[in-house]
Structure 1
Amino acid sequence: MLFLKMPRFKKYQLRLISVCFSALLFMAYWEKIDNNIVTHVMSFSYRYIFNSFTFINTSLRVNPEDALKYNKRRYLLNHERKCDREDVLLLLFVKSSSENFERRRAIRSTWGNETYIATTLGVTVRVMFALGLHPEPEYRSKLKMRLFLEDQRYHDLIQQDFLDTFHNLTLKLLLQLGWKETYCPRSQFLMSADDDVFVHIPNLIHYLQRSNGKDLWIGRVHRGSPPVRDKESKYYVPRDMYPWLSYPDYTPGSGYVLSRDVATKIYQASLTISASFHIDDVFLGICAKVMDVAPKDHLFFSGEGKAPYHRCIYNQMMTSHGHVGDIREMWKRATEAEAGQVSSGLIWRLYCTVVKVRLLCVPFISNSYSCKAAFL
């Protein structure tokens, strides 16, 4: 009998060991989890109860001379007359790294193809790539001639003399805002996107044409986000740089759109705020708050993940994040869907709602769009 009970005993013993091990892991990480929860609760409370951010006007301002140190960088590649000849509906800046030649080629041949946009959609869009300098001097010199030849062929690279690192992303934001104000002031809209983002240009253009062209700032809005105090994180912000509990509302740098008037206001604010704050999208939110500008959440601007591959998604998508080698595939699917799908009718709408619920509302399946997007 003892022999017969041994397997059952071993099974329960294994379960007990597993439970104990899980409990130890939970205890080991509880402090970190607990701190994270507390931080977010405090940040949301600050955002939704106090909601003033009046400290920005007094604490983060600098004199114009100090601001110009960040705003007036020397151009290494520039195209001053790119917007001269025609009225530009959209100036679309793609933030790229100098070595990402293939990503730029893929964008030029798909959603960033200016000729396709003009012919198919009947509007003028200028697609420019914002670059800094490669941080490694040896590699930088090797890239210099390749970038020169690329620019001679496509005439779409804008490069300034700052090191292209994560901590200089705010300088790349200032490049875009300043270039628009100086060389493309009549552009009705400004968009900023990463070079691993897919932009559904037809949907975006139709949306912009339906808007009134003023007081517009759209993207995936982050509200009540707390500063990261973990020194191991690349998003770490020390308290002496930003001591408060919550950031103003902002849109992630992966993709957002500003109307001309909003872009000008934010640029003007950037001339009074210290650009030493290195998280570019939060810096954008700080400048916007100074000018009393608020972002509008668009449910089909992507989060961190890629949009699901489905016709019902393509019908409404604006951006999809995380595309390195599959932009051409996404472009093919999205444009074929637009050409071939029937987007009206009750049956089609019900079908797409069911599909989107399955794709967007099941936990841990997708982190591209929120579940609310399924019901639009």
Structure 2
Amino acid sequence: MVEDCEKQSHGSSSSGCRSLRSFFIFTVFLVLFLCYYIIPNELSDTWAVTVGLFLPEKYTIKMVNDSLNAAPIVTSAEPWKPPEPYCVAYPHTYNLVLNEPEKCQKENPFVILIVPVAPSNAAARDTVRSTWGSERLIGDKTVSILFLLGLPASEESETLQQNLLQESEKYHDIIQSDFWDSYYNLTIKTIIMLEWLHVYCPNASYAMKVDSDVFLNVKALVKMLLSVPKQSYMTGLVARNAVVLRDPHSKWYLPKTVYEPAFYPPYALGLGYIFTLDLPEKLIKAAQLVKPVYIEDVFLGLCMTHLGIALTNPPDGTLFNVFPVEYNRCRYSKLIATTTRSMRDQVEFWKDLQKPGPYC
């Protein structure tokens, strides 16, 4: 009787273990099923963002490539029409209103600085001209500078355009194209920059797109460029695994209908990025095939990913700064670019850095 009871007890225990094991396995598969098929689609982007933070860059690149490959191909023969305001009208033919076609042939620059700026912002152009934009010879390397504009869209556009014509006659450093100059057309402005460089400045070694509110240390820039690759090279403050913002109130909002992945490919932040002059032609061709978005630095990252060309981190992580750096002479003598709080800061910092004596 006791033996029978023990056998029965042992059998019940084994059966219970098997049931518990089966329940555990079922639960695991259920959780995996929910995670893979339901949660990412039904809940907010928080899930994709959280998972993405732990993904190696090669997986986020694959996600972007898959998205690009799935996107419809567009060509310049049939201009792609933007279905909503978060896309831009490119490819499209734009014409130059003001040009300096012989700039690079005459100056033969080692690096050419392209400064996108609003047509109405003459103060920013004058500030750059009187500070770092005036540094034209570093050692034996020539530095050229041009301001890139679209058409003014204000009520005083005729008067403003006349002022621009006079400014162009005086300084010969303005390129203007016939698109409406606005924040949402920055991608158009960037591609026109590439087209201009490809046609008119193939003899330069490097180009830098740099915002007008940035303090640029031209000496440090040239010093870095003396020891970097001469082809297929782009650097700056490189963002990796950057999250796509889905909040409609954000300045950088992109809906899934325009860009589906939760993460952007690597891209150099638009405050200032540098590239070799073999890239403009390649990027222009890629821009015919990649669905454009209005965030211009992201769009160049998409084009670089399409080309299979990796962006390069700068040799020092402190060279490029998206947030204003508190001024001290030693620190500013080593950085290349930082945003500033005002034009007055740009002027004062630059003047102080020009004073004789040790930096540190």
Q: TM class by shorter-chain length?
A: 0.7 to 0.9
Choose from 82, 96, 100 the match for 1:75.
Answer: 96
1:63 is matched with 75
Distance (whole Å) between structure 2 residues aligned to residue 164 and residue 47 of structure 1: 38
The equivalent position to 1:251 in structure 2, one of 268, 283, 286, is 268
Letter in 2 for 1:110: T
Separation in 1 of the partners of 2:216 and 2:239? 20
Question: Could you tell me how far apart the structure 2 residues matched to 1:311 and 1:39 are?
Answer: 43
Structure 1 contact 197–254 (Cα < 8 Å) conserved: yes
Aligned length in residues: 303
Aligned to 1:50: 59
Is the Cα contact below 8 Å between 1:47 and 1:223 reproduced in 2?
Answer: no
Matches of residues 186-265 of structure 1 in structure 2 within 5 Å?
186-265=203-282
Q: Distance in 1 between matches of 2:229 and 2:253?
A: 38
Asked if the contact 1:42/1:245 (under 8 Å) is kept, the reply is no
Stretch deviating more after TM superposition (195-204 or 264-273): 264-273
What is the CA deviation profile of residues 70-117 of structure 1, one whole-angstrom value per residue up to 9, with x for unaligned ones? 35201111111111134321121001011111111111111111xx42
Distance 2:156 2:331 in 1: 40
Preserved CA contact (<8 Å) 2:195 2:280: no
Q: Does 1:294 align with 2:310?
A: yes
Structural mapping, 1:84-233, within 5 Å? 84-113=105-134, 116-118=135-137, 120-136=138-154, 138-233=155-250
Of 265-274 and 223-232, deviating more is: 265-274
- The CA RMSD over aligned residues, in Å, is 2.2
2: CA distance, partners of 1:303 / 1:210: 21
Displacement after TM superposition at 1:331 (Å): 0.6
Counterpart of 2:118 in 1: which secondary structure? coil
User: Separation in 1 of the partners of 2:353 and 2:69?
Assistant: 44
TM-score by length of 2: 0.78
SS state of the match for residue 253, structure 1? strand
Measured against aligned partners, the alpha-carbon deviations of 1:137-191 in whole angstroms (never above 9, x if no partner) come to x122221111111111001111111111111110011111010001111111111
Structure 2 portions without partners, runs of 5+: 1-42, 81-89
> Contact 2:149 / 2:181 at 8 angstroms: preserved in 1?
yes
Are the equivalent residues in 2 in contact too, given 1:71–1:175 (CA < 8 A)? no
Amino acid at match of 2:312: K
Aligned counterparts of 2:283 and 2:114: Cα–Cα separation in 1: 16
Determine helix, strand or coil for the equivalent of 2:269: coil
Match of 1:324 in 2: 342
Q: Structure 2 CA distance, aligned partners of 1:247 and 1:67?
A: 25
- Contact 1:94–1:127 (CA<8 Å) still a contact in 2? yes
Q: Secondary structure of the residue that 1:159 maps to in structure 2?
A: strand
Q: How does 1:293-372 map to 2 (within 5 A)?
A: 293-298=309-314, 299-325=317-343, 326-336=345-355, 339-341=356-358
- Aligned to 2:179, what secondary structure does the other structure show? strand
Q: Which residue of 1 aligns with 2:296?
A: 280
1:27-53, Cα deviation, whole Å (9 max, x unpaired) = xxxxxxx96764532333456362313
The AA in structure 1 aligned to 2:75 is N
Name whichever structure is richer in helix by fraction: 1
Rounded Cα–Cα distance in structure 2 between residues aligned with 1:190 and 1:267: 15
Of residues 251-260 and 326-335 in structure 1, the stretch that sits farther from structure 2 once superposed is: 326-335
Supply the distance in 1 between the matched residues of 2:225 and 2:58 (Cα, whole angstroms): 33
Q: Which amino acid aligns with 1:245?
A: A
Aligned-residue identity in percent: 28
- Structure number with bigger Rg: 2
Mark the CA change 1:198 to 1:342 in structure 2 (over 3 Å): closer, same or farther.
closer
Report if aligned partners of 1:191, 1:257 keep a CA contact under 8 Å in 2: yes
Shift of 1:124: 1.8
Compared CA separation, residues 141 and 58, structure 1 to 2 (3 A):
same
Counterpart-to-counterpart distance in 2, 1:295 and 1:308: 28
SS of 1:242 mapped into structure 2:
coil
Could you state the TM-score of these two structures normalised by the residue count of structure 1? 0.75
Asked if structure 1 preserves the Cα contact closer than 8 Å seen for 2:211 and 2:272, the reply is: yes
Report runs of 4+ in structure 1 exceeding 4 Å deviation: 34-39
What residue in structure 2 maps to residue 27 of structure 1?
none
- Is residue 44–residue 225 contact of structure 1 (8 Å, CA) maintained in 2? no
Larger deviation: 232-241 or 195-204? 232-241
Query: Which deviates the most, 35-44 or 48-57?
Result: 35-44
Q: Which runs of 5+ in 1 are unaligned?
A: 1-33, 344-376
For residues 300 and 72 of structure 1, what CA distance do their matches in structure 2 show? 39
Alpha-carbon deviation of 1:263?
3.4
8 A contact 1:223–1:249 mirrored in 2: yes
- Does the 8 A contact of 2:205 with 2:276 survive in 1? yes
d(CA) in 1 for partners of 2:326, 2:45 = 29
